[in-house]
Structure 1
């Protein structure tokens, strides 16, 4: 293999990884649309509503996508912590996920722009 071909494969691999991260966040967005985040304990369905727990409705979605519900819940949480205007296309999903644990929004959003200070 030539160095040129190797560099092409690396460049394409990095594009694929970036695309995968965007897909994970997009699935999180879709999952948030199905089941928005609620405060701990969640809300109560109205008595006349067909009710399904968050986990049950997302388990159905996960089954239809052929992925695990835990993966979908993970994508949902990360997407909830990173509204679209604060996401960085050039930063991996795993970094978004790691920084999602920072409780203070301002600090979280600053860290994505300056990861060396993390």
Structure 2
């Protein structure tokens, strides 16, 4: 009885496999060729930061001109960079090269394909993925380097950042870092200022309203400070502060004096520039 595979006999199936392999080999050559062209247009620059600091405008134009998806061209370029011409294997498909592209021992590993049902030695995608996991686990540094390479384009990076921060555990760990938290707060302030500036340009009357509000806010802040000091000083005189408390308050008063001097300077000159020491003093209590 003849064993069928789908609608074909076993022999027909094997013949189709042989023909398809020849086609896959041709496709592999073409994908590597386009990847090499993309590398020629914009080589991958491996810097000390682990990023590919390439400029993607030319690659986007290249992808558009050949009618391919930009991310696909980036993948072909990355894989071509990972596999120098003399290390590419004609008996392994492009997919196998892509799967192994980030593996540190890929040049040795790809020369050791498993045996298939017909007794021939060749790679499958599943076998390649399994081999990578079996030989060694990709280090955290390698994974981070790969993510940085993928996110070197600002549009890609912003999309990835938004997706990562949508995961509560990651968002929590990010916000636990004071430096990162400060940068995020600064980005939020910058964004708010941009939105406000755009609104002012669309509606000039907003600027006049904001001017009045800022004046009143400044007056209120000054009156609150003066009133609070006048109210508290008699109480402090009656119940003097300990030495440690005096040192803490002394530092806060230094900040207050610096803020007052800075405020006078801005009002008199309109210049918001402050020296490094003053900026450090005023920013100590930032989130």
Length-normalised TM-score, structure 2: 0.34
The answer to whether the 8 Å contact 2:44/2:52 transfers is: no
Q: Which residue of 2 aligns with 1:114?
A: 112
Q: Which residue of 1 aligns with 2:217?
A: none
What displacement does 1:8 show? 3.4
Q: Which residue of 1 aligns with 2:35?
A: 28
Aligned with residue 16 of structure 1, among 17, 23, 33: 23
Q: Which residue of 2 aligns with 1:68?
A: 69
What aligned pairs does 1:91-106 form with structure 2 within 5 A after superposition?
A: 91-102=92-103, 104=104
More helix by share: 2
Runs of 5+ unmatched residues, structure 2: 1-7, 115-130, 133-287
Bigger RCO (CA 8 Å, 6+ sep): 1
Q: Which residue of 2 aligns with 1:38?
A: 45
Give the distance between the partners of 1:58 and 1:41, measured in 2 at CA. Answer: 13
Q: Which residue of 1 aligns with 2:85?
A: 84
- What SS does the corresponding residue of 1:54 show, helix, strand or coil? coil
Give the distance between the partners of 2:14 and 2:100, measured in 1 at CA. Answer: 30
Give the distance between the partners of 2:10 and 2:87, measured in 1 at CA. Answer: 36
What displacement does 1:33 show? 0.4
Give the distance between the partners of 1:67 and 1:38, measured in 2 at CA. Answer: 23
Length-normalised TM-score, structure 1: 0.78
Q: Which residue of 1 aligns with 2:180?
A: none
Give the distance between the partners of 1:95 and 1:25, measured in 2 at CA. Answer: 12
Distance 1:33 1:41, change over 3 A: closer
Q: Which 4+ runs in 1 deviate beyond 2 A?
A: 1-10, 115-118
Larger Rg: 2
Give the distance between the partners of 1:84 and 1:41, measured in 2 at CA. Answer: 21
